[in-house]
Amino acid sequence: MGYVDREKLLDKSEGSVYKLVNLAAKRALEVAEGQPKLVDVNAALKPSTIALYEISAGKVESKRLKGKG
């Protein structure tokens, strides 16, 4: 796999870099702990890179929480 476009990643995280970083960090931790990869990538890639590929492919999404009021 090649380069993951930052704009594509931001579209997947509602345009928020903060949400993107949190989503990628949480998913990378899951991958590092042994959860199966959701995309076909080289096994030598770091969990954080795998998480970004999964987000880019639309396999991992953030949950929207409903606000009070």
| CATH number of the domain where residue 50 is located | 3.90.940
Domain count, the chain: 1
- pLDDT reported for residue 20: 92
For residue 41, the enclosing domain spans: 6-56
Predicted structure pTM score: 0.83
Q: Burial code of 38-56, b = ≥16 C-beta within 10 A, e = fewer?
A: beeeeeeeebebbbbbbbb
Compute the distance between CA of residue 14 and CA of residue 64 in angstroms, rounded to an integer. Answer: 10
**What whole-number distance in Å separates Cα of residue 20 and Cα of residue 12?**
8
**Residue at 41 is within a domain:** yes
Domain membership flag for residue 22: yes
28 is a domain residue: yes
Q: Is residue 67 part of a domain?
A: no
* 26 in a structural domain: yes
Residue range 5-64, pLDDT digits in tens = 888 888 888 888 999 999 999 999 999 999 999 999 998 999 999 999 999 999 988 776
Better-predicted residue by pLDDT, 65 or 51: 51
